[in-house]
Amino acid sequence: MIRVRPVARLAELRLLIWVAALSLVGYVAVVAAASGRFAWYEIAVPVAVLAVFGLLHVFLVSIGFRGDQLLMPLAVGLTGIGFVLVERLAPTLLLQQLTWLVIAAGAFCVTILIPRDLSVLARFKYTWALVGVLLLVSPLLPFVGREINGARIWVGITGLAQFEPWELVKIALVIFFAAYLEEYREMLSTPPRRFGPIPVPPVPYLLPIVAMWLVAMLVMVFEKDLGATLLFFGIFLAMLYLATGEPFYVAIGLVLLVGGGFVAYHAFAHVAARVDVWLAPFNSDLRFDQAYQLTQGLFSLGNAGLFGAGLGAGMPERIPVVWSDFVFDAFTEEVGFIGALALLAFYLVFVYRGMLIALRAPTTFLQLLAAGLSFIVAFQTLVIVGGNAKLIPLTGITLPFVAYGGSSLVTNFMLCALLLRVSDITARVRR
């Protein structure tokens, strides 16, 4: 049980002040660049955002929380940058995003409070798997499923909010995999036979890999979402590796993924289009059509240079749907390569802290859980930044904490809360 005795979190407080100052300066710069002036009342939105984070800090202090003190400031810094970018790129969505932030903060507190002993999660692993699968197929259901921008990954009620269930699926999947692999890892990592370096576990243990691959391919085909496919399979392979330490499984998985992708390229127009755009975005047939978004994104990067055009002084608004798909390029255009490196460093430190929490966690389940959740943040960042910079084909994955989007904000704060809970449990066990 968590004893209710307040504990000072001074490192967290100090860091929060720094990232709050960073977001405030950014916000003022963006507003001033757009209108040429800054009125005092315009500071209301960033102050409200920061107040929410202040309350979260007070909440953690008041319940005597003993978890990591770096994760929250990092998440707040990224979210603050996200709000600066929403104001810069889509100011009409600002209040909506603020509403989502309040919901996200609520989800954060609930996650911190309810699963007091996280092993509860492990016990109901098949429930989580079921929830995950249901959420996964929910966009395909009639009445609630929605197809937006060519991807059928939304549920919603017309006129009311819509939600990307995928975001929540990620967490359910990591919980399930962590629990499942904790139970079966011995059998998977010590196969009875080996052909040279190649481990051959009994066929029943290979089945989950094939099943996961099939589900990933189904998502690609029916929900037309390359990002979800990649993320789904990526999480699975990473956690399989974490549990077994067997690079051969990863190799099989990658071969299956590339093979599936190759077949899909030839069989499905929406997959082929993404790949063609990636290979030759400046092709004269594509650049005003399907590749328009990517070429405009690259022009944004090209305008960045070392120090950027300055907040509010670039032209990232030329990129279609920039506030959700291309925030990274928009950010880079205005704060430069240096700023982009700083942003990537925020993510890398977040992931590093998350992995550190995993290393110290007292049980295998908690280790796998924390490492899997940290991996999500790393993988999403790499996939979308890679897509924005034409290193890999573009997918609809969101940049964690920064990109506009309610589902993603709520999920990321829950993810952050779960990591904090693991570190809190560790601190109490090692006390």
Partner 1 sequence: MSQRTIAANIRRLTLTIAIAFLVTSVGVGYWSIVAASDLNADPFNPRLIAAVRDRPRGKIVDSSGRVLAESVRDGDAYRRKYSDRSLAQVLGYASFKYGASGVEGAYQESLIGQDPSDLLGQWKARYLGERTEPGSVVLGIDPKVQAAAVAALGGRRGAIVALDPKTGRILASVSLPNYDANALVDPAQQDAAWGQLNAASDKPLINRVAQGLYPPGSTMKIITAAAALESGFDPNQKIRVDDPYQADKSWGDYFVRSSSQAHGDFDMSLAFQRSENIYFAKVGLTIGAQKLGDMARKFGVGSAPALDLAVGKGQLSNGGTIDRPTLLADTSYGQGELLVSPLQMAMVAATVGNHGVQVQPHYVTEIRDSSGGVLRTVGGGAGDQIISAATAAKLTTYLVQAVEAPGAFAFGAKIAGVHVAGKTGTAENPAGSPHGWFVGFAPADDPQIAVAVIIENAGQGGVDAAPLGGAVMKAALGH
**8 A C-beta contact, residue 111 and residue 422:** no
- The least distance separating partner 1 from the CB of residue 391, rounded to whole angstroms, comes to 4
- The least distance separating partner 1 from the CB of residue 180, rounded to whole angstroms, comes to 15
Q: Hey, what's the torsion of the CAs at 46, 47, 50, 51, to 10 degrees?
A: -150
- The least distance separating partner 1 from the CB of residue 267, rounded to whole angstroms, comes to 29
Q: Could you tell me the strand order of the sheet in which 162-163 lies? A: 145-148, 151-156, 162-163
Tokens of residue 318, six digits:
């030329």
- The least distance separating partner 1 from the CB of residue 361, rounded to whole angstroms, comes to 9
State which amino acid sits at residue 327.
V
- The least distance separating partner 1 from the CB of residue 77, rounded to whole angstroms, comes to 17
Closer by beta carbon to partner 1, 324 or else 381: 381
DSSP string of 326-354? Answer: -HHHHHHHHHHHHHHHHHHHHHHHHHHHH
Q: Cα–Cα distance between 19 and 42 in angstroms, integer? A: 19
Bridge partners (DSSP) of residue 151 are: 148
- The least distance separating partner 1 from the CB of residue 215, rounded to whole angstroms, comes to 22
Closer by beta carbon to partner 1, 101 or else 358: 358
**8 A C-beta contact, residue 153 and residue 166:** yes
Residue 196 has a CB neighbour count (10 Å cut-off) of 5
Ramachandran quadrant class, 126 (left: phi over 0; alpha: psi -120 to 50; beta: rest)? alpha
Closer by beta carbon to partner 1, 144 or else 344: 344
- The least distance separating partner 1 from the CB of residue 378, rounded to whole angstroms, comes to 5
Closer by beta carbon to partner 1, 118 or else 371: 371
Closer by beta carbon to partner 1, 198 or else 359: 359
Residues that bind partner 1 (CB under 8 A): 185-186, 189, 238, 241-245, 282, 287-288, 295, 298-299, 301-306, 313, 315, 318, 332, 336-337, 340-341, 344, 347-348, 351-352, 355, 358-359, 364, 367-368, 371, 375, 378, 381-382, 385-386, 389-391
Closer by beta carbon to partner 1, 164 or else 333: 333
Tokens of residue 151, six digits:
């991807």
Q: Quick one: which of 121, 132, 227 has its CA closest to 172?
A: 132
**8 A C-beta contact, residue 82 and residue 403:** yes
Tokens of residue 203, six digits:
């066929």
Distances (CA, A) of 143 to 138, 146, 158, 204, 280: 10, 8, 9, 38, 38
Q: Hey, what's the torsion of the CAs at 104, 105, 107, 111, to 10 degrees?
A: 140
Closer by beta carbon to partner 1, 97 or else 244: 244
Bridge partners (DSSP) of residue 200 are: 193
**8 A C-beta contact, residue 412 and residue 75:** yes
Closer by beta carbon to partner 1, 20 or else 343: 343
**8 A C-beta contact, residue 177 and residue 372:** yes
**8 A C-beta contact, residue 172 and residue 135:** yes
Closer by beta carbon to partner 1, 367 or else 407: 367
- The least distance separating partner 1 from the CB of residue 37, rounded to whole angstroms, comes to 17
**8 A C-beta contact, residue 138 and residue 155:** yes
**8 A C-beta contact, residue 222 and residue 140:** yes
- The least distance separating partner 1 from the CB of residue 90, rounded to whole angstroms, comes to 19
Closer by beta carbon to partner 1, 155 or else 383: 383
- The least distance separating partner 1 from the CB of residue 375, rounded to whole angstroms, comes to 7
Closer by beta carbon to partner 1, 135 or else 343: 343
**8 A C-beta contact, residue 61 and residue 7:** yes
Q: Cα–Cα distance between 250 and 243 in angstroms, integer? A: 12
- The least distance separating partner 1 from the CB of residue 21, rounded to whole angstroms, comes to 25
